[in-house]
Amino acid sequence: MKKEFLVTLCTISFLCSSRAMAFRAGLSGGSLGVGTGHSNAADFASPVAYKAHVTFRNKIDLSLAATHLLVGRVYEFNSGAFVLPAAGFILDGNGSGPGVSALFGFTFFCWGVCFYSEFQQQLGFGPNRKMVSGYSARIGLDYTNEK
Amino acid sequence: MNSWRLTTRRFIFCLMTSALIWPCAFAFEAGTGPGFITHGDNRMTPSVQSWMQTSFGLLAGITNSGEKNSAFSQQTALAHVSYATSLPGSQSLEASLGLGEIFSRTTLSKSGEAGTRASHISQAGGIAMGLRWKPALLGRKLKFRLSWDTLYVPPGLSVLYFTFGHAQSVSTGLGWDF
């Protein structure tokens, strides 16, 4: 656990010390599936369903939620749609381990802050040679300090 | 009653229309390959995926999978029709968004009171999303493809039997550019 914490700290330090001081950051909440069966309804009262993220100028995105800790790269379309492949640490109802994620999102209604909706799928290696997977469908708000 | 007849003028019209459409509509890539499906409860079963993608981004794919254990046997098909496009700034990554459907047929191993085995056929529709890696490894016509697709069935619409509402499909494959 100490090693994972140090790797995360180093990654954040590297990102902050690079030319990527301009950023976009946001918080989103919604519906989670944690590998235990059916899709769940959106639950905005539960902190577990929330995700925080920060995207730096170089399009590197760092996101943290109860279900993952991921680093990826954002690919943005002119229409406001974006795709974010990422890798990192994944947790679901059956365990946790290293894994990958694919996020599909859409940004809309920007007045200083932007609303965005996203769907994220995850897949990883869990304990005892089992897999961990899951999904989340969220809606959130983004703030950017870029001009 | 008016019957439609192929006149010379109509023939030339059809020929010209076909010639205009041909380069984009009939240029396509098709392929197949092995992979696996994950169900909503983290079960993982082997699968075979086949796909066809036109040059203007229309993508149709189907993934077939099966499972047999002591409790039940199940056949699952995951089909989708999507629009696929390259990610901005990337030569080999592609994303797709569309509509999908999951079909499953489950037969319980345990016989009922009448001595018959219960069989359930269920299906559900949802949003299909996919991410593909298509590196230029094998030349112009032969394509290697690694795809990762998902079908999200919104909460409340999941009525599948032993399949659950969220399925992921990971497949490798070889395609040919026709």
The domain over range A2-144 is classified in CATH as 3.40.50: no
Instruction: Give residue-wise pLDDT tens across range B16-57.
Output: 777 666 655 567 888 999 999 887 667 788 999 999 998 888
Residue B5, in any domain of the structure: no
Question: What average pLDDT does chain B have?
Answer: 82
Domain ranges across chain A: 2-144
Nearest to A76 among B42, B88, B158 (CB): B88
Are residues A83 and B131, on separate chains, in Cβ contact within 8 Å?
yes
pLDDT of residue B76: 87
| Cα A91 from chain centre | 13
Give the C-alpha separation, A68 to A128, whole Å: 19
Q: In which band, very low, low, confident or very high, does the pLDDT at B68 lie, cut at 50, 70 and 90? A: confident
List the domain range (segments joined by +) for residue B60.
29-177
B88 touches chain A (CB under 8 A): yes
Does residue B38 contact residue B150 with C-beta atoms inside 8 Å? no
Hey, is the C-beta of B77 within 8 angstroms of any chain A C-beta?
no
* pLDDT at residue number B140: 80
List CB contacts (< 8 A) between A75 and chain B: 87-90, 93, 95
Q: What is the CATH number of the domain that holds B108?
A: 2.40.160.20
Predicted local distance difference test score (pLDDT) of residue A13 = 58
Report the chain B residue with the minimal C-alpha distance to residue A123.
Answer: B168
In the numeric block, which tokens belong to residue A26?
A: 């946001």
Give the pLDDT confidence of B122-174 residue by residue, as tens digits.
888 888 999 999 988 887 888 899 999 988 877 665 555 555 556 788 999 88
pLDDT confidence of residue A85: 93
Nearest residue, CB atoms, A83 vs list B38, B87, B170: B87
Find, among B55, B62, B63, the residue nearest to B29 by Cα.
Answer: B55
Does residue B6 lie in a domain region?
A: no
Sort out which chain B residues have CB atoms less than 8 A from A94's CB and list them. 42
| Under-50 pLDDT residues of chain A | 18-20
pLDDT at B11: 80
| Residue B148 falls inside a structural domain | yes
**Partner-chain residue, chosen from A38, A75, A92, that has the shortest CB–CB distance to B88:** A75
pLDDT at B1 over 80: no
Other residues' Cβ atoms within 10 Å of the Cβ of residue B114: 5
Q: Contact, A116 vs A28, CB < 8 A?
A: yes
DSSP A45-92: T-GGG-EEEEEETTSEEEEEETTEEEEEE-EE-TTSEEEEEEEEEEEE
- B130 is a domain residue: yes
Domain count of chain B?
Answer: 1
pLDDT at B2: 61
Question: Is the Cβ of B158 closer than 8 Å to some Cβ of chain A?
Answer: yes
C-alpha–C-alpha distance, residues A83 and A88, integer Å: 16
pLDDT of residue B69: 80
- Residue B109, in any domain of the structure: yes
